[in-house]
Chains A and B, each alone.
Chain A
Amino acid sequence: MRRFILISVPYAWLLALFLVPFAIVIKISLSDTVIAIPPYAPTLDLAGGWAGIVEFFQGVDFETFEFLTSDDLYWKAYLSSLKIAVIATAITLAVGYPIAYGMTRVAPEWRPTLLMLVILPFWTSFLIRVYAWMGILGQDGLINQALLWLGVIDQPLTILNTPTAVYIGIVYTYLPFMILPIYSALEKLDDSLLEAAEDLGCSRFTAFWLVTWPLSRNGIIAGSFLVFIPTLGEFVIPSLLGGSKTLMIGKVLWEEFFSNRDWPVASAVAVILLLILIIPIILFQRNEQKQREAEG
Chain B
Amino acid sequence: MKRLLSATASVAVLAGAAFAEEVRVYNWSDYIDEELLTKFQTETGIDLIYDVFDSNEVLETKMLAGGSGYDVVVPSGTFLQRQIQAGAFQKLDMSKLSNAGNLWDVVAQRTAQYDPGNEYSINYMWGTTGLGVNVGKVKELLGEDAPIGSLELIFNPANMEKLASCGVHVLDAPTEIIPAALKYIGENPDSQDPDVIAKTEAVLMGVRPYIQKFHSSEYINALANGEICVAFGWSGDILQARDRAAEADNGVEIAYNAPSEGALMWFDQMAIPADAPNPEGAHKFLNFILDAQNMAAASNYVYYANGNKASQEFLVEDVIGDTAIYPDAATLENLYTVTPYDARVQRTVTRLWTKIKSGT
| Cβ–Cβ < 8 Å partners of B353 in chain A | 259
Q: In the complex, how many angstroms separate the beta carbon of A31 from the nearest chain B beta carbon?
A: 13
Report if A260 contacts B (CB, 8 A).
yes
Are A35 and B82 in touch, CB under 8 angstroms? Answer: yes
Q: Is the CB of A258 within 8 A of B58?
A: yes
Chain A residues 234-291 with CB under 8 Å of chain B are: 243-245, 247, 252, 255, 257-262
- List the B side residues contacting A76 at CB < 8 Å: 360
Is B358 touching A36 in the complex (CB atoms < 8 A)?
Answer: no
Q: Chain B residues near A259: list those with CB within 8 A.
A: 57, 174, 350, 353
- Contact in complex: B354, A262 (CB < 8 Å): no
**A218 located at the interface, meaning its Cβ lies under 8 Å from any Cβ of chain B in the complex:** no
Enumerate 25 A-B pairs (CB-CB under 8 Å) in ascending A order.
A36-B86, A37-B63, A37-B64, A37-B88, A37-B274, A72-B360, A73-B351, A73-B355, A244-B213, A244-B357, A244-B358, A244-B359, A245-B358, A245-B359, A247-B358, A247-B360, A255-B354, A257-B61, A258-B57, A258-B58, A259-B174, A259-B353, A260-B350, A261-B57, A261-B61
B residues contacting A by CB (< 8 A) are: 55, 57-58, 60-61, 63-66, 82, 85-88, 174, 213-214, 274, 343, 346-347, 350-351, 353-355, 357-360
Dominant secondary structure at the A interface: loop
Closest 9 A/B residue pairs (Cβ): A39-B64, A244-B357, A37-B66, A35-B86, A260-B350, A259-B57, A258-B61, A36-B86, A259-B350
Known: A252-B354, A261-B57. 11 other contacts (CB 8 A): A37-B86, A38-B64, A38-B66, A39-B86, A71-B351, A72-B360, A73-B355, A244-B213, A244-B358, A260-B347, A261-B61
Task: Name A residues whose Cβ lies closer than 8 Å to a Cβ of B.
Answer: 33, 35-39, 71-73, 76, 161, 243-245, 247, 252, 255, 257-262
Smallest CB-CB separation from B359: which chain A residue? Answer: A245
Closest to B208 in A: A244
- Complex alpha-carbon distance, A252 and B354, angstroms: 9
Q: In the complex, what residue of chain A is closest to B360 when comparing beta carbons?
A: A76
When the two chains form their complex, are residues B354 and A37 in contact, meaning their CB atoms are under 8 A apart?
A: no
Given contacts A33-B343, A259-B353, A260-B350, contact A38 B65 (CB under 8 A): yes
